[in-house]
Amino acid sequence: MSSPAAVIFDLDGVLIDSETVWNDARRGLVEESGGSWSDDAQRAMMGMSSVEWSRYMRDQLGVPMSAEAISAEVAERLERLYRKRLPLLPGAREAVVSLASRWPLAIASSANRPIIELALGLAALSDCFQAAVSSEEVAHGKPAPDVYLEAARRISREPVSCAAVEDSANGLRAAAAAGMGVIAIPNRAFPPEQDALAHADVVLGSIKALTPEVVEGLAGPFQAARAEN
């Protein structure tokens, strides 16, 4: 292919500076409910679907609530914080609007669907995306490719013709497993391991650097990868 046919974005850590917010909401619930927080809990849950991380909080961190109640409580805390101030990353809106003028865009996120819709609405970006998929809507969360495959399906594009924009280790692995070209914007608070970052075709310092020219530049890696297969 000469260039990607669509661009699929992760949400948390790519467009919204929210990983620390998620961490604080989950940790607060664990500690308030008498559970036991672990140092690697946030990194372990990055990329998990709401079904998966709520079960993790129940089974591994000792939150004495049902998984459904845990998910709902964390989502409610996020909603309150977002309505007070959405932590939209500088340059995120400009990057999305610029790319939306050239390619179909979609979201492939591990966040709960109401949180995805709220964040895009508050950022005035809903109209830029033709589809948004939460990993709670597919069988497996990241690093499995399910959420990316479903996002590509909903915009009627082959996964191998899409570019993905990711920040986390599990997200990078998921996008690569889906066969997509991968643009990495490493999360500063929870940087991906080097083996995960190795899946990236392009590594950027921030969302401000994500331009149509960067996406067009993926044509080389796409063509090389297809030639090898």
Domain span holding position 59? 19-84
pLDDT at residue 220, as a whole number = 57
User: Is a pLDDT exceeding 70 seen at residue 221?
Assistant: no
Counting the structural domains of the chain, the total is: 2
Looking at the fold, whether 145 and 208 belong to one and the same domain comes out as yes
pTM: predicted TM-score of the whole model, two decimal places = 0.88
Report the SS3 class of residue 153: helix
- 107: in domain: yes
145 shares a domain with 205: yes
Work out the pLDDT band at 107, boundaries 50, 70, 90.
Answer: very high
In a domain, 52, yes or no: yes
192 belongs to a structural domain: yes
Same domain, 129 and 51: no
Looking at residue 84, its pLDDT comes to 95
Residue 6 — φ and ψ, nearest 5°?
A: -165, 160
Same-domain pairing of 74 and 129: no
- Residue 128 pLDDT > 90: yes
Percent residues over pLDDT 70 in the chain? 95
- How far apart CA 209 and CA 12 sit, in angstroms, is 17
pLDDT tens-digit series, residues 22-64: 999 999 999 999 999 998 898 889 878 889 999 999 999 999 9
